[in-house]
Amino acid sequence: MSRNDGRRRTPFASSSSGGGGGGGVSVSAGRNGTTKEIEPFRRFDVVLDDSDHFYRDASLPIPASTQKKIMQEWRLLEQHLPESITVRAYEKKVDLLRAAIVGAATTPYHDGLYFFDISFPPNYPARPPLVHYRSFGYRINPNLYATGAVCLSLLNTWFGRGERERWNPRESTILQVLLSIQALVLNERPYFNEPGHGVFVPGTFSEMHSFAYNENAFVISCKSMLRLLASPPRGFEVLIARHFQDRACAILRACEAYANGRVQVGYFQDGMPPPQGRSSRVAVSHGFKEFMKSLYPLLFRAFSKEGASLAGLRKRLRLDQKGSGPPPAPRKKGLVANVVGMVKKFFGSK
């Protein structure tokens, strides 16, 4: 339990598909359909159990000067974390943090929860923090490896575009790192995070590569949801349960909308029409449909087990009888093989 029960509480909030996440209502639907009061869940808090933290065994003694700087970082997080990021510090190991980031709307990561274990080095902030992504063995993004490595110029794990993007001991903060991961890494078109892929140009083959990448990123996000529900990181069990209780319907409806080509992956917003300019049906790969068909019932069961209200939703994915979109445009010879090769390179066989 938290040591600071007398401190200001930030209540947990319900929100629809997309941005924000977790901050403010005091009632929730129980498993029997009744409403009940729920404990507030703070955006920043200090907990005791660090037993499953990635850096726990590598933790080093922290000098007093570094501890003082870390306390400043704690205060910054407590005061300025957005609703879509939750952080836990550890009472017995002040050099460790764990963060949960909600995927933003209009990205293939929407409604997902992404976890990062953080370690401050003894000479922080002269050196940047170490950050490990809880990947479950999946590579969901060019910057987030299956090993858990996080490639980001602000962490000095990528050369970036110059010194101004690298860690600056006088100005950089862990809050800045978390916001950069959310906005710059888990973004709308992660395919272009990879060096050499250029920039997004509508109507080109790069757009098709980007769309294929987003399909796979959403598939892996759904797989990660199942893994999180089966094995939640310690200190975040309540957050994970409430998050998916709140967003289960939106996630399942997104699976159906994407599989049927009603909207491009990433752009489903529950109860809202597609954004302007994205209302036409889109072609969907056979592989993506098959993944959605297999994952949808697993998600349905997992969300139901957590007490999510799924009234009106089918237990299995429904595919439109007339197909999921227009036939794909003619492609150059070998392009399909190139796309498949790209997907295997980034995502592996899992």
Question: Catalytic residue numbers?
Answer: 151
Using a CB cutoff of 8 Å and minimum separation of 24, what contacts does 63-70 make?
Answer: 63/122, 66/95, 66/120, 66/122, 66/123, 66/124, 67/94, 69/124, 69/125, 70/94, 70/95, 70/120, 70/124
Q: Do 138 and 349 meet the contact criterion of CB atoms below 8 Å apart? A: no
d(CA 88, CA 41): 11
Phi first, then psi, for residue 89 (nearest 5°) are: -100, 170
Sign, CA torsion 254/266/227/139: positive
Beta strand extents in 7-129 (DSSP E only): 27-29, 35-37, 44-47, 85-90, 96-102, 113-119
A 10 A CB-CB count for 309 gives: 15
Give per-residue burial for 186-201: e unless 16+ CB within 10 Å, then b: bbbbbbbbbeebeeee
With contact defined as beta carbons under 8 Å apart, do 99 and 118 qualify?
Answer: yes
Where do the H-state alpha helices sit in the chain? 64-80, 174-180, 205-230, 237-259, 286-305, 335-347
CB-based contact 148:133 (threshold 8 Å): yes
CB 244 within 8 A of CB 229: yes
DSSP for 138-154, please give it. Answer: ---BTTB-TTSBB--GG
Q: How far apart are CA 65 and CA 94, in angstroms?
A: 13
Residues 6+ apart with CB under 8 A from 18: 104, 105, 106, 110, 111, 269
